[in-house]
Chain A
Amino acid sequence: MNDDVSQFDLFMEGEKNMALDYRKCAEEIAANIGGGSNVISAAHCATRLRLVIADNGKVNKAALENVDGVKGMFESNGQLQLIIGTGTVNKVYDEFLSVTGASAASKADVKAAAASRMPLWKKILKTPGDVFVPILPAIVASGLMMGLVEALAKAIPSFAESGWFGFLDLVANTAFALLPILVAVSAARVFGGNIFLGGVIGMMMVHPGLMNAWTVSPTNQPAVWNLGIFKISQVGYQGHVIPVILAVLLMSTVEKWLHKKVPEMIDLFVTPLCTVLITAFATFVVIGPIFSILENWVLKGAEWLVTSTGGIGALIMGALYPWTVVMGLHHMYNVIEAGMLSGALGLNIWMPIASAANFAQFGACLAVAIKCRNAKLKSVALPSSLSASLGITEPAIFGVNFRFMKPFIAGVIGGAVGALFGSLTGLGATTYGVTGIPGLLAINNVPIYCIELLIAAGVAFVITSVIWKEEQPAVAPAAAAPAAAAPAIEAPTVSVIRCANGTVLQPVKGNVIPYDKIPDDTFASGVLGVGVGVEPTDETVVAPFDGEISSVAESKHAVGVSANDMELLIHVGVDTVNMNGDGFTCLVKEGDKVKAGQPLIRFSRAKIKAAGYSDTVAVLLTNSDDLEGVEIGAK
């Protein structure tokens, strides 16, 4: 589950390769991956060419690494990723498409193609990582700064009262205080929703009009809005992750569904309005209460475990703690700590458990940072582990440990062992809110505390080093490849021409216009029959019905399909015959039987544009004069 760190590439690989021959680079890449026929899909991000390969056996990795322009390569999540660099990768990508005839796919398509090879449980585990990786720069920076600022404040009391602390603390904790917004935006991107609507959902969940979740305590309870049928507790979701991801997943699903159902004319205001409203209700009425019940259980359970069962309770809590961080439930532990300090014991025995758990995640993350060969992963894991050592574990958990799972489990074990030791040796803190290294300033026994941290981190470090290996996803695809090589054909859902003899489905994605609006006199005059034009947003023409290929233009830009006396011409672009096939790949030949949805032609919009022609696809029923009840327009 070696996922992308593309956001890092942006500033890690800013330099451009000025003298690179893009065409040559693309040709060499194609030659070393078994040619265009071995490519299921291709996409690029800011720096990388991302390919889903049918047969990994045909990939010559050693040769690929030596291709001029390829700075590195790795395989992850069923994708072959070639690092090419900012500003260069898009040019190599364009050439790659024309060299291989592969169709352009968005990054999401490639990820989906790769993800479809993954079992469900892995997909679920992968989601928080996918959401977190893009926002890591923000939270790694904030985590480190927050750890340092808080440690300084503990060490130098006068600093804690200075304006410096106030300001630095504000800067440091911004990303964490408003974390749901970052999570929501990123999750919307992962789930394919509108990122701004996602942002709205995130902002709503930490709206200043709601009580800050961090300030809730038994004596300070949020007010309630009574809506008759249900009640909404006026409390925010500060520090939460999973409820935000769930809310945005729901939002994206609703939004995509509405986009399909709502007529285009009113789509712009109806869809966002309904999406936000439905999501808001579902979030505050269903998702929120479930989590607040869960929180209460965790809180009560945790308190009971630690105060009533001694060492065993500490052991269990040390193991459970990181899971509660994943769930975003850890923010209310301050309540337990405050309760302990004001209680009979007057000592915070919760803190050593939290510290052991956090420090174990540091140990596991450090092991990954040291063991991994992938430079990008190293560049994430190292600062994340530092932040964890200061008690801010989110970057390490979400960015590294939980993504690979094994380091996380190693951290769980280390945390449990450390917490048991801390409990047996009677460790406790005299204040609350700090763990890890800054905890040294709050602990009642510094040497024992150091030993506890070493045990926790040491156990996690050793276990991670032994059981975690940098994943080579090439192992599995051997079995999965045949299935992926023959993707299921999906018929388009929109029809563009209807007549007594049958229905013509939309053969290419894009905006449908009547034939008389096609920017060409001949097509627009209807002399070739009536039909529609499609202003394409995609680059693949698919069969509009089950039928037979009646003709294929020599220059590969037009194809005739017939069935049940319907003679349909699909002509890609205007005057594109002059391109002599450059930028077009025809996937069928005359006489082929095709199924609706089967790809017929792939074309490069960029090339058509470069040649100075319109890329409008004419879809014309050439014998419309002989057919009855012909009706055009998208439906």
Chain B
Amino acid sequence: MKSFEYVITDPVGIHARPAGILVKEIKKYASTVTVAKGEKSVNALKLMALMGMGIKQGDTVKVTVDGADEDTAFAAIQDFFKNNF
């Protein structure tokens, strides 16, 4: 299990469209990805749940990757956050 923290820089936060792209990205891997903000955490595959977090610019999220291919997935998803959020 590997995790990283990330501060959202995108002005509109994790909204429908970027969240959808994130889901597609995660689907490439076998690992489970969870996104946590404060007390709340969700499985990042659940688009609705992810959107419902209401993650905005400036929020700190903790992203956890857990599974067989977590090493490759971790790197890819960390890049994805930097590039998209």
Contacts and interface: CB of A to CB of B under 8 A. Distances in A.
A578 B48 contact: no
Interface string A592-635: 00000000000000000000000000000011010000000000
A577 B12 CA distance: 7
Given A522-B21, A527-B21, A590-B52, A553 B47 contact: no
Interface in B20-69: 20-21, 23-24, 27, 46-49, 51-52, 54, 56
Given A554-B54, A577-B12, A622 B48 contact: yes
Contacts, number: 57
A551 interface: yes
Given A522-B17, A528-B16, A528-B20, A569 B47 contact: yes
Nearest to B46: A567
Interface in A537-580: 550-555, 558, 560, 562, 567, 569, 571, 577-578
A567 B16 contact: no
Contacts of A578: 12
Contact of B24 (A527, A550, A569): A527
Nearest to B19: A528
A528 B47 contact: yes
B49 A553 contact: no
Contacts of B51: 551, 553, 558, 560, 569
Contacts of A554: 13, 54, 56
Contact of A571 (B16, B27, B46, B54): B16
B47 A558 contact: no
Contacts of A562: 48
Which of A550, A562, A567, A622: most chain B CB closer than 10 A? Answer: A622
Interface string A506-528: 00000000000000101100011
A518 to B, nearest CB: 11
B17 A528 contact: yes
Contacts of B48: 550-551, 560, 562, 567, 569, 622
Contacts of A622: 20, 23, 47-48
User: Which of A551, A555, A578 has the most B CB atoms < 10 Å from its CB?
Assistant: A551
Contacts of B13: 554
B15 A577 contact: yes
A520 B17 CA distance: 10
Interface of B: 12-13, 15-17, 20-21, 23-24, 27, 46-49, 51-52, 54, 56
Contact of B16 (A550, A569, A623): A569
Contacts of B12: 555, 577-578
Interface residues of A, number: 24
Given A560-B52, A590-B52, A623 B47 contact: yes
A590 B52 CA distance: 8
Contacts of A623: 47
| Among all A-B residue pairs, the 4 with the closest Cβ atoms | A551-B52, A528-B20, A560-B48, A550-B48
A551 B24 contact: no
A622 B46 CA distance: 9
Contact of A550 (B17, B52, B54): B52
Nearest to B27: A625
A533 to B, nearest CB: 14
Contacts of B15: 553, 558, 577
Given A622-B47, A623-B47, A552 B52 contact: yes
Given A522-B17, A569-B47, 18 more contacts: A527-B21, A528-B17, A550-B52, A551-B51, A552-B52, A553-B15, A554-B54, A554-B56, A560-B47, A560-B48, A569-B48, A571-B16, A577-B15, A577-B16, A578-B12, A590-B52, A622-B20, A622-B23
Contacts of A625: 27
Contacts of A550: 48-49, 52
Contacts of B52: 550-552, 560, 590
Contacts of A590: 52
A523 B12 CA distance: 17
Q: Which of B15, B17, B20, B24 has the most CB of A within 10 A?
A: B17
Interface in A250-271: none
Interface in A173-190: none
Given A522-B17, A577-B15, A567 B54 contact: no
Nearest to A623: B47
Contacts of B54: 553-554
A527 B52 CA distance: 18
A527 B16 contact: no
Nearest to B24: A527
A551 B49 contact: yes
A361 to B, nearest CB: 65
Nearest to B23: A622
A130 B6 CA distance: 65
Nearest to B56: A554
Q: Which of B13, B15, B16, B46 has the most CB of A within 10 A?
A: B16
